[in-house]
Amino acid sequence: MEFRFIIVTRISAVIFLLLATITPACANGQETKPIVSTVESTMASLTVAPNQHYLAQAGTGQPFFMLADTAWNLDALTDEEIRTYLKSRHSHHFNTIMFCLNFFPQAAAENAYNQKAYIGPDSTELNPDYFTHVDRTVSEAADLHLYAMLYAMWGGAKAGTMNTYSLEQLHTIGLRLGQHFRGRSNVILCAGGESTPPYVDVERVNAIGSGLKEGCDGKNLVVVHPCSNRSSSKSFSDAPWLDVFMSQVKSGRGGETADMTIYVAQDFLHSPAKPTMVVEHRYEVGTHEDPVIQRRSLYLSTFAGGCGYAYGHNALWQMTPHTAQKWMLSGWNPGVARWTDALDTTAVDQLHHIIPLLLSRPYFERIPDQSLILQGQSDEISARVQAIRDGHWGRPDASYILAYMASPKELVLNTSVIGGKELNLTWFNPADGKTLPFLHVENRGTLRLPDPPQAHDWVVIVDDASRDYAAPRE
């Protein structure tokens, strides 16, 4: 085995990357030399919580709610531009970024430095020059306490490359990527974007997914991003390499009325259980949209049982103006001239309020429970009510209820699931993360809620008064 050392100079620090070459035979009989990164991150790696529904930080077991930002075309930016993007996402309290390697044709299968991710006779070798930039991005993300979800490639009908590879080649790519990022605790590996039937055969995704899991020795979470409208559980429910289910609903025009709770709720009941989350739903457009559109997607999917959520803006996943695909622009209008114009929308600064809300009550014990809504439900997303609580279905063992109202209405809740005789009631504002003073009421088994003070979406918090839970605090 031959070793060589590459010194990468970063603005914030000097990082020494030990890159080892290994020489397995590829499909055409020629030797290949994929690189292996041994740089350790100080961030805790992520793992599936013992209840199989949520994520936790390895070692401490602390709950982790994934609030991700979608940046598929990130490698179309220079290192300095990427640094600007990362700092922005950190400032808005995102904890995860998602981007795709080799995002063809949006970046012409090359990064901003005209380098391809995969090279060699069969395009399965990791390009050291390309991955020097990726490693820098991953390291700088870790410095900002950001996890990086790396997509091996895209598989969609109009933007995919996965169908150009054989099963053996896909497994080789997955293996090498897994080996390269093994030990990088802030890295999550994704087998592909929009990589489910009818765009890509199951066998192809299994090839690359199993390679990723084998290559990283199971040290990193491995996921796959489905095409719409579906969850990855539809095709990979029993895949041993898959750690988290993902669903895509409707990301373009009309997505604000699409029901993202269907797939999350179904996945929550899936056996064997796995965490689930929405990764594409109604990208934001421009800078003047009502932020409630994004809040609804986040809260409804989370209260349906989601372990996280991925926000997206058309200008940021495309990295406008780096893309010039007419089919893309016709369905996913950026609404701004440059990606930097979309970094600080109103919605982006409101989404993180959900995290202190969730952490303020028992986290791993929470379950979705629509039976709590006795009056006020609607089939329309713009007026939907979604409820969660702790405890077990069918038992009066809850200590709290959280109900998200997509719009104000008269609402009656079933509070018999809370055994305590007294309740504390308050309203949580998703727009600013603030709560109103608690009201103390008797638990009569049903609770008709007073009207919220303003006409927008709200979360009502109903607690067993004996638990003396505090208001959410950031």
> Do 213 and 89 sit in the same domain of this protein?
yes
pLDDT at residue 464 in the model: 98
The answer on 257 and 403 residing in a single domain is no
The residue-averaged pLDDT of 28-54 equals: 69
Name residue, tokens 């709720």. Answer: 265
Which stretch of 17-26, 209-218, 251-260, 398-407 has the lowest confidence by average pLDDT?
A: 17-26
Asked whether residue 474 is assigned to any structural domain, the reply reads: no
- Residue 235 structure tokens: 């095709």
Count the domains in the chain.
2
Q: Is 434 within a domain?
A: yes
> Among all chains, which residue has been given the structure tokens 């005789």?
421
Query: Which of residues 357, 376, 410 is at a domain's end?
Result: 357
Q: Which of 316, 336, 357 is the last residue of a domain?
A: 357
**Residue 409, domain member (yes or no):** yes
Average pLDDT estimate for 253-259? 85
CB-based contacts of 369: which residues, under 8 Å, 6+ apart?
A: 387, 388, 389, 393, 417
**Single-letter residue type at 90:** H
Q: Do 320 and 383 sit in the same domain of this protein? A: no
Please give the share of the chain, as a percent, with pLDDT higher than 70.
90
The model's pLDDT over 48-99, given as tens digits with 9 standing for 90+, comes to 999 999 999 999 999 999 999 999 999 999 999 999 999 999 999 999 999 9
Asked whether residue 369 is domain-assigned, the answer is: yes
Is residue 473 one of the residues assigned to a domain?
Answer: no
For a pLDDT cut of 90, what percent of the chain falls above it?
Answer: 80
Mean pLDDT of 157-161: 77
Rg (CA), the chain: 23
Beta bridge partners of 94: none
pLDDT in tens, 129-157: 999 999 999 999 999 999 999 999 998 87
Query: Is 228 in the same domain as 367?
Result: no
Regarding whether 388 and 351 lie in a shared domain, the answer is no
pLDDT value for 254: 81
Averaged over 11-26, what is the pLDDT? 34
Query: pLDDT value at position 330?
Result: 76
Please report the pLDDT score of residue 391 as a whole number: 96
Please give the structure tokens belonging to residue 380. 């329309």
Instruction: Give yes or no for residue 12 having a pLDDT over 50.
Output: no
Residues 222-245 have pLDDT tens digits of: 999 999 899 999 999 999 999 999
pLDDT confidence of 323, banded at 50, 70, 90? confident
State the pLDDT confidence band at 345, using cuts at 50, 70 and 90: very high
**Do 310 and 190 form a contact (C-beta atoms < 8 A)?**
no
- Are residues 257 and 381 located together in one domain of the fold? no
Decide if 472 is inside a domain. Answer: no
Q: Which residues of 50-61 are buried (b: 16+ CB within 10 A; e: fewer)?
A: eeebbbbbeeee
Axis-axis angle for helices 261-268, 292-303 (nearest 10): 20
Q: Does residue 381 form part of some domain?
A: yes
- Indicate if 66 and 137 belong to the same structural domain: yes
120 and 190 part of one domain: yes
State how beta strands 187-190 and 222-223 pair: parallel
Say what the pLDDT of residue 105 is.
62
Domain holding 12: CATH number? 3.20.20.80
209 is a domain residue? yes
Model pLDDT, residue 298: 98
> Do 126 and 198 belong together in one domain?
yes
Q: Which of 24-38, 83-97, 258-272, 313-327 has the lowest mean pLDDT?
A: 24-38
Question: In the structure, what pLDDT confidence band is assigned to residue 282 with cuts at 50, 70 and 90?
Answer: very high
Question: Are residues 281 and 230 located together in one domain of the fold?
Answer: yes
219: left (phi over 0), alpha (psi -120 to 50) or beta: alpha
Check whether residue 369 and residue 257 sit in a common domain. no
Region 101-129: mean pLDDT is: 87
Quick one: three-class SS letters along the chain? CCEEEEEEECCCCEEEEEEECCCCECCCCCECCCCCECCCCCCCCEEECCCCCCEEECCCCCEECEEEEECCCHHHCCHHHHHHHHHHHHHCCCCEEEEECCCCCCCCCCCCCCCCCEECCCCCEECHHHHHHHHHHHHHHHHCCCEEEEECCECCCCCCCHHHCCHHHHHHHHHHHHHHHCCCCCEEEECCECCCCCCCCHHHHHHHHHHHHHHCCCCCCEECCCCCCEECHHHHCCCCCCCEEEEECCCCCCHHHCCCHHHHHHHHCCCCCCCEEEEECCCECCCCCCCHHHHHHHHHHHHCCCCEEEECEHHHHHCCCCCCCHHHHHHCCCCCCCHHHHCCCCHHHCHHHHHHHHHCCCCCCEEECHHHEEECCCCCHHHCEEEEEECCCCCCCECEEEEEECCCCCCEEECCCECCCEEEEEEECCCCCCECCCEEEECCCEEECCCCCCCCCEEEEEEEHHHCCCCCCC
| pLDDT level of residue 424 (50, 70, 90 thresholds) | very high
Domain shared by 347 and 428, yes or no: no
Which residues are paired to 366 by β-bridges?
A: 390
Of 301, 331, 357, the residue at which a domain comes to its end is 357
Q: Which domain holds residue 45?
A: 3-357
The rounded distance, in Å, linking the Cα atoms of 379 and 258 is 11
Which among 282, 246, 450, 461 is positioned nearest to 357, based on CA atoms? 461
User: Which CATH number fits the domain that encloses residue 398?
Assistant: 2.60.40
